Amino acid sequence: MKSTPVRISYTVEEKEIYSQLAALIGLTAGNLQKVLDDFNAAQAALDELTSVPYAKDDPATQEALEIIDRMRQNLYLVDLRLDEVSSMMTGYATAKETPPPTTREGSEGPGSSE
C-alpha cells in the first residue's frame, strides 16, 4: 500500500528553530544516499545497454527504468522536505519582521463590557 504524505506542525522554543530545521533536513540523508547509490547503478545499467540492441522487454532495460523511477521517488521526498523547511524559515522570518498588533489608547480589549 502506498503511503500518503501528511503535513504536520508543532511548536518549539525560538532558540531551537534552526536546530530543529537542521534536524528535518538531516532526515533526507537516507534518501539522498539512495539517490547517489541508484545514480551509480543507473549509469552502470545504461552503460550495459549500450552494448546490446534495444529490446523493450529486455531485463536490463526494465532494471534501468526501475532504478530511475526509484531515484525520482527519492528526489521527490528530498524536495518535499526541503520545501517544508523553506516554508518554515519563511514563516519564521515573516513573523519576526511583522510587529505585534497594538491597541489604541482608550480602546477596550476583548472580554470587556460596555
Asked, for residue 91, whether it belongs to a domain, the answer is: yes
The verdict on pTM exceeding 0.85 is no
Asked, for residue 1, whether it belongs to a domain, the answer is: no
Query: CB–CB of 31/74 below 8 Å?
Result: yes
Low-confidence ranges of the chain (pLDDT < 50): 114
Domain count, the chain: 1
Asked, for residue 44, whether it belongs to a domain, the answer is: yes
Asked, for residue 11, whether it belongs to a domain, the answer is: no
Cell of 13: 522554543
Asked, for residue 114, whether it belongs to a domain, the answer is: no
pLDDT of residue 5: 80
pLDDT of residue 22: 96
Share of the chain above pLDDT 90, in %: 56
pLDDT of residue 14: 92
DSSP state of 15: G
Asked, for residue 106, whether it belongs to a domain, the answer is: no
Asked, for residue 109, whether it belongs to a domain, the answer is: no
Among the listed residues 2, 76, 68, the one whose alpha carbon sits nearest the alpha carbon of residue 41: 68
Q: Which long-range contacts (CB under 8 A, 24 or more apart) does 26-32 make?
A: 27/81, 28/77, 28/78, 28/81, 28/82, 31/74, 31/75, 31/77, 31/78, 32/74, 32/78
Asked, for residue 39, whether it belongs to a domain, the answer is: yes
pLDDT of residue 55: 72
- Domain with 66 in it: 16-97
pLDDT of residue 99: 83
Cell of 9: 506542525
Helix, strand and coil content of the chain, in percent to the nearest 5, comes to: 65, 0, 35
